Structure 1
Amino acid sequence: MKIAIYGREFSDATLPYVQQVFDNLEKHDADLFIYEKFAHFIKGKVKHQKKESTFKHYKELKGVVDVMLSLGGDGTLLDTVSLIRDSNIPIIGINLGRLGFLASINKDDIPAAIESLVHKEYTIDSRHLLKVESDTPLFGDENFALNDITIHRRDNSAMMIIHAYLNGEFLNSYWADGLIVATPTGSTAYSLSCGGPIVFPLSENFVITPISPHNLNVRPVVISDTYKLTFELEGRSSKFLLSCDSRTEVIDNHLKFSVSKADFQINLIRLKNESYLSTLRNKMLWGIDRRNY
C-alpha cells in the first residue's frame, strides 16, 4: 500500500507514538510519501529503514497514493484537505493532540488501526465542503473549507454588522462579533461552542451561527446546502477577517462575497469499530451523566 504522511512539528513526548506509526507501517511493507517539511523535521528523530519519497504539492499524490495519513489533531487533519483537494484520496487521522474528533484514532490504538488500514478493513465517509467566492480573489486556489467559513472582527472591540442574503433574498443583519457558516462536519467545532446544533453528516445542510449576537432573539439556523449565501459587511473598522478553516485573510469592509457548497467532497476513513455516534459518545461524552456511574 502507498501511504502519504502529513504532520506538524511535535514535542518529545509525542515522539514514541510517531515512531510507533513508522514501525508498524514498515512492518506491513508500506511505501511512504512524506510531506517535505515534516520529513525534514523528523530526520534524525524517527528511525525507519525503508527509503521514503517526499512531496510538496497535491499534484504529486494524485493517482499515486492510496491513503493520506494525518499525524496530529483535528487542525492537522484540516491541513491535509489543502493537500488532497479533489483527488479523492481518503484521509485517516491519528490523534496526537487532545479531542481528536476528526482525527479519531487514539494513540493507544495505533498498531490495530494500521493493520486494519493496510488490509483495507474500513469504510469511506464522504463529507461536503464550503467554498467562498468574490470578484476579488480570496485564498487563491484554496478557497474551500471542511469545517467552516467564519467572519471575524479584526482590530477593535466594536461589533460588526453582517448583512446576509439567501439566494439573493435578505435573510438578516447580524449585529455580532462575527458569523460562522459551518458544514455538518464543522457543526461539532466552532459553531457548537457558539451555541449551534449538532448536524449529522450527509444531512445536506449548512449551519449559520452568530458569534455573540447583540440581539438575543437571533439564533443559529439550518439551511439546505443547495442555497447560496451572500454577505456584505459594515462597522467602524475598515478591515475584517475571513477564515476558511485555519486559513485567514484580511478583507475590506466594502467586499461582497458568497458562500456555497464546494464542487467536490473529502473522503474520511472510518475503521470497522467506528461510527459517527460512537465518536460523539467517546469524544464528546455524549449522553454521559456521572451520577449514573
Structure 2
Amino acid sequence: MQAEKIKKVGVVLRPSSPELKQNYFELEKIFNKYGIETTIESISGAMIGIMGMEFDNLCQSCDVLVTLGGDGTLISAVRRSFKHDVPVFGIYAGNLGFLADINMGELEAFVKSLVKGEYRVDERAILEATFQENENEVTIYAFNDIVLTRPSVSNMIHIETLVDSKAFNTYYGDGVIVSTPTGSTAYNLSAGGPVLFPLTNVFALTPICPHSLTQRPVVLPGKFSIEMKTPQDRALVIIDGQDKHELEAGESIHIQLARKTVKLIHREEFNYFDVLKEKLNWGD
C-alpha cells in the first residue's frame, strides 16, 4: 500500500465512551491538516452526536481504519472489517495496549510519518472457524482466540480434538483455548500457554484447568486444521471474548488459520519486545 493513496480514514470509537468526543475532533483536525479525509462509523458518530457512515460502507470507502479506545476496540474492528481487507491501526485512550500502541499525544507525529510512507504494515494471522447453527453453516473469525468451555460451572467438559482429520487428544477439564500469536498474550497466557511472536504462522491449543496434569499447551503449524467436538456435552464457543455460540452434544467446530492475514499499521520504530517488557514487567 503506497502512502500517497491514503486519502481517507474511517474511525471507530470505543463503545459507551461519549467522553471521546473531543479526542475525535482533535484526531479529525490532525488528519485534515495533512490532507487526509476523516469519516466516523455511524454507531460511534451517534454516540458523540454527529453523522457517520455505516460500517461496511466505511470499510469499502476508506484506505485505513483507525480505532480510538483500546485493544478490545481494535480487535472488534479487525473482525468486522476482515472481509474488506482494510489495514487498521489503533490509538489508545488509556493505557498502552499490545495492539493499540499510539496515544493522542503521539498522533500528529505519526500522521506526519504516515504521509511520508514512514510506517510498517505487519501481517498477522487470524482464526477462521466453521460450525452448524440452526441448520446453517456459520463462519466466524477470531483475532485473539476461540475458547471452547463448559456452559455450566458445575461440570467439566470432554473435548475430542482431531488434527488434519486424525485423532489428536481428548481434553477433560474446564475447556480449551485456541489462540493466534496475537492472542497468545491474552487468555492463553493467563492459562499457562506460550507467548508466540505475533508475526509467526502458528496457533496454540491450551487446556483450561485440565483434569490431568499431563495435558499441556501445544503449538501447531499454521497449515494444520483442527476439529473439536463434545460427544457427551454441550459447549460454549467464545470468540475473542466478544461473541458467544453454543454447540450441542456431538456437534463439531472446524478451526484453521485463514488464508488472508490482518494488516496492522505501526510506527517504524514499534518493537514488540519493548511492549512485552512494559506490559508484563519483564526485566524488573
| TM > 0.5 fold call | yes
CA shift for structure 1 position 128: 1.1
CA shift for structure 1 position 23: 2.9
* C-alpha distance in structure 1 between counterparts of 2:136 and 2:193, whole Å: 26
Is the contact between residue 132 and residue 138 of structure 1 (CA under 8 Å) also seen in structure 2? no
Q: 1:31 aligns with which of 17, 20, 37?
A: 37
The answer as to 2:11 corresponding to 1:5 is yes
Structure 1 gaps, min length 5: 45-52
Distance 1:105 1:142, change over 3 A: farther
Partner of 1:61: 59
* Cα offsets for 1:128-160 (capped at 9, x unmatched): 111111244799766111111111221342111
Distance 1:186 1:155, change over 3 A: same
Letter in 2 for 1:162: I
Instruction: Please give the secondary structure, in 1, of the residue aligned with 2:244.
Output: strand
Give the alignment's TM-score, normalised by structure 1: 0.85
Alignment of 1:1-293 (within 5 A): 1-11=7-17, 14-43=20-49, 54-62=52-60, 64-136=61-133, 143-235=140-232, 239-245=234-240, 246-285=242-281, 287-289=282-284
Instruction: Please give the secondary structure, in 2, of the residue aligned with 1:143.
Output: strand
Is the contact between residue 90 and residue 269 of structure 1 (CA under 8 Å) also seen in structure 2? yes
Letter in 1 for 2:253: F
Distance 1:99 1:153, change over 3 A: farther
* C-alpha distance in structure 1 between counterparts of 2:37 and 2:25, whole Å: 16
Is the contact between residue 130 and residue 137 of structure 2 (CA under 8 Å) also seen in structure 1? no
CA shift for structure 1 position 205: 1.0
Distance 1:213 1:139, change over 3 A: farther
Instruction: Please give the secondary structure, in 2, of the residue aligned with 1:112.
Output: helix
CA shift for structure 1 position 194: 0.7
* C-alpha distance in structure 2 between counterparts of 1:261 and 1:214, whole Å: 28
* Cα offsets for 1:83-115 (capped at 9, x unmatched): 321333111000114351111113432332233
CA shift for structure 1 position 60: 4.6
Is the contact between residue 20 and residue 110 of structure 1 (CA under 8 Å) also seen in structure 2? no
Aligned residue pairs, count? 277
Partner of 1:50: none
Letter in 2 for 1:88: D
Letter in 2 for 1:277: F
Cα RMSD after superposing both structures = 2.4
